[in-house]
Amino acid sequence: MSWTELLKREIGSAYKTTEGLLELVEEDTLNWKPSMGSNWMTTGQLLHHIITSCGMSFQGFVTGDWGLPEGVDISKLSPEEMLPPAEKMPTIESVAEAKKLLAADKKLALDVLAKIPEDDLAHKPAPAPWDPSDMILGHRLLQMVYHLNSHKGQLFYYLKLQGKPVDTGHLWGM
């Protein structure tokens, strides 16, 4: 199996399952967050993070465009600017907006992937602004799909803690 095929399959699975979980989010829970501990995102902030966790990262690794304002160099951002505490993170305004933006992020991931030569996926170095270690582009992009999957799992537990009737099938898109 090629990197392109692997990434397409993983993208398809991750987004399909995330889309299913989004169907269970209710508008009145966008400000909800777990009550124990600290530095939790609200459901709305988590949805905003989900819709920027994969496709936009593909774009960043492949084109260098990380979606930052003009003149901002991602390599010059402090750790807090790169990953702010939860209370400083942006939120989503509605579940409908999250669904629309998730679909756009999936399209972006697939569009970017379609333009990458297989040889680049297998051999091109892809250091991350937050992790300069040696890693090929295909592996780095797979990590971004894992990033989406991690937050999909977080959304699953948010729904469970909100009393939604979710089970393992929802987590794995079955």
pLDDT tens column, 12-57? 999 999 999 999 999 999 999 999 988 899 999 999 999 999 999 9
DSSP letters, 37-103, are SS-PPPHHHHHHHHTTSSHHHHHHHHHS--SPPTT--GGG--HHHHS--GGGS---S-HHHHHHHHH
DSSP β-bridge partners for residue 131: 128
Question: How many angstroms separate the CA atoms of 66 and 155, rounded?
Answer: 24
The pTM of the full predicted model, rounded to 2 decimals, is 0.91
Domains in the chain, ordered, with CATH? 3-65+85-172 (1.20.120.450)
77 pLDDT more than 90: no
pLDDT tens column, 80-134? 777 788 888 899 999 999 999 999 999 999 999 999 999 999 999 998 888 888 8
